[in-house]
Amino acid sequence: MRISAKADYAVRAALELAAAGEDTSVKAEVIAGAQGIPHKFLEGILGDLRRGGLVASQRGGKGGYRLARPADTISIAEVIRVVDGPLVSVRGVRPPELSYRGPAESLLPLWIAVRANVRKILGEVTLAEVAAAKLPGDVLGLAEDPEAWTNP
Amino acid sequence: MRISAKADYAVRAALELAAAGEDTSVKAEVIAGAQGIPHKFLEGILGDLRRGGLVASQRGGKGGYRLARPADTISIAEVIRVVDGPLVSVRGVRPPELSYRGPAESLLPLWIAVRANVRKILGEVTLAEVAAAKLPGDVLGLAEDPEAWTNP
DNA sequence: TATTTTCCCTACTGGAAAAATAGGGAATGA
DNA sequence: TCATTCCCTATTTTTCCAGTAGGGAAAATA
C-alpha cells in the first residue's frame, strides 16, 4: 500500500496554508521552498486543490493561495481524494467493485475493513490538528506505541 | 493507497493452497484457472512465495505447490510483504525513514498510525480464517457497517 | 532408459502512470 | 505600463507494473 508523492505533497502544501491562517495568501514558490517540493509540480497540485474547492487563489503582485475553508473543517482524507481519487484501491478499482471466487470470497470484506480503518483515521484528522501538532487521542495512542515505529 | 495486482494475486493463490490443505499439492495451472490469474505471471509470484518460505514446491508428474506452514500461522500481511515489500510506504519509502519540516512535522506520526492500523488488521488475520470465511470479530465488525461499503 | 510433467530461471516488452519540466497567456496590483 | 503571480496546455522523463516468451532442471511414470 503506497501513498503517492502527489498525495504527500498536497497534504504538506495544505498544512503550510493552514499554518499561515485562513486569510493569509502564500505564494506557490514559498510553499515549494518551505517543503522542498518542485515548484511547477506543486502548481499543478494547487490547481487540483483549487478545482476541488479546498483552496482559493489570487493572481498578481500580492497573490498566492489560501484555504477556502477553516482548517479544522478539512480532513486529510479530503485532500488526498481531491488529488488522487479513491483513498484505497485494489488493482486500481475500489473494493466494492471487486468480486472473488472460492476460498478468496472473504477477501472482499477484509479489504473493506482495511479501507474503513484507513478512512476512520484520515477522515477524522484535520489540517488544523496536524499543523498544530495536536493529533486526536486515539491516533496519538496508535502512534505512541514503540512497536508501531519498528520495521517488520 | 493502492494494493497491487501482485499482492492481490499472491493472497488469492495462498488461499487456494490453504483450502486444499497443507499436504495437498496444487499445480500452478490449476490455481491460475480457479482464480483467473495469468499462468506465467502466477508462476513468478509462487516463486517469490517459495523463496520467502511460505510455500513449498515439488516438480514432476504429481508436483505442485503447497503451504510450507499451517494456514493458521500465516497472516495476510506476511504474504503481501513477501511479494511486495513494505506493507505501507510514502513515495516509496517506509514511514520511519521520512522527515518533515515545519507544520508538516506531525505528518510522520499520522502515517505511523495509519500503518499501525493496517498492520493490526492484516497481521492478525490468517489464511485459514479467510479461506474458511471466518474473519475475527473485530474485523467483521468493521466490515459489517453498511457505511463501510459506500463510496465517498 | 525414455518420456512426460511440472516447476524453475532469465530475459524482455509494452504500456501506463507517476513525477517533473517548459513556455507562454491572463489576471491583478503598484 | 510593468512586474508579479497564478493559470493552462503540452511534453518529457522516468519508473514500475503487468504480462509474455522460451527453454532448462528435476521428478515421476512407464
Sorted by sequence, the CB contacts under 8 Å of residue A14 that are 6+ apart come out as A49, A54, A55, A67, A74, A79, A127
CA distance B69 to chain A (A): 18
Residue A147 CA, distance from chain mean position: 24
Is B91 within 8 Å of A4 (Cβ atoms)? yes
pLDDT value at residue A152? 78
Domain of A145 in residue numbering reads as 5-149
Please give the Cα distance from B53 to B72 (Å, whole number): 15
DSSP letter, residue A26? B
pLDDT surpassing 90 at residue B151: no
Listed in sequence order, the DSSP H helices in A1-151 are: 5-20, 28-35, 39-51, 76-84, 107-124, 127-131, 137-144
pLDDT value at residue A60? 92
| Per-residue H/E/C for chain B | CEECHHHHHHHHHHHHHHHHCCCCCECHHHHHHHHCCCHHHHHHHHHHHHHCCCEEEECCCCCEEEECCCHHHCEHHHHHHHHHCCCCEECCECHHHCCCCHHHCCHHHHHHHHHHHHHHHHHHCEHHHHHCCCCCHHHHHHHHCHHHHCCC
pLDDT value at residue A138? 96
For chain B, say whether A101 makes contact (Cβ under 8 Å).
Answer: yes
User: Nearest to residue A127, comparing CAs of A64, A49, A51, A62?
Assistant: A49
pLDDT value at residue A151? 87
A130-150 mean pLDDT: 97
Domains in chain B: how many in total?
1
Confidence band of A50 (pLDDT split at 50, 70, 90): very high
For chain A, say whether B36 makes contact (Cβ under 8 Å).
Answer: yes
Cell numbers for B140: 467483521
- What CATH number is given to the structural domain containing B104? 1.10.10.10
Geometric angle at alpha carbon A16, from B118 and A36, rounded to 5°: 80
Geometric angle at alpha carbon A140, from A135 and A143, rounded to 5°: 125
A19-29 mean pLDDT: 95
DSSP lists the bridge partners of residue B58 as B64
pLDDT surpassing 80 at residue B152: no
A120-144 mean pLDDT: 97
Q: Which nucleotides of C are covered by protein (CB under 7 A)?
A: 4-11, 17-23, 26-30
Q: Which of A6, A42, A117 to mutate to test the interface with B (most CBs of B within 10 A)?
A: A117
For chain B, say whether A60 makes contact (Cβ under 8 Å).
Answer: no
Residue range A93-123, pLDDT digits in tens = 999 999 999 999 999 999 999 999 999 999 9
Is B15 within 8 Å of B131 (Cβ atoms)? yes
B129-138 mean pLDDT: 97
Size of interface A-B (CB pairs under 8 A): 200
Residue A30 (CA) to nucleotide C19 (C1'), in angstroms, measures 20
